[in-house]
Amino acid sequence: MDIKGIAKSHQANSTVAGKKSSKKEWKLSDSLREKITEYAKEDAAQNVYMGNKFLALRKSEVAKVAPDRSALMGKVNQEMADMEKIREADERA
């Protein structure tokens, strides 16, 4: 199975009877907005664009909703290796 086949099967599984899949929704909360504003003011006072505190906050928010891409790619690679082993075994038989 190629990557396109995996993507198509994922898309087919993500919708059931026309309903969208239940993905994690992200919203900008008031407390998060206040933190961003606070970090922006601190960074502006130091003449810095997107300082370390803001970048760490953004990374933590992304981690809440984004898939672990390296783990997904590892699973795909392992699946492909397993399929190759099966194919080789079938050819020998």
pLDDT of residue 18: 47
As a whole number of angstroms, the distance between CA 63 and CA 36 comes to 17
pLDDT of residue 46: 94
- Residue 85 C-alpha from the chain's centroid: 29
- pLDDT per residue of the chain (93 residues) written in tens, 0 to 9: 455 555 555 455 444 444 455 566 778 889 999 999 999 999 999 999 999 999 999 988 888 877 777 888 888 999 999 998 898 888 887
pLDDT of residue 16: 45
SS (H, E, C) the chain: CCHHHHHHHHHHHHCECCECCCCCCCCCCHHHHHHHHHHHHHHHHCCCCCCHHHHHHHHHHHHHHCCCHHHHHHHHHHHHHHHHHHHHHHHHC
pTM here?
0.47
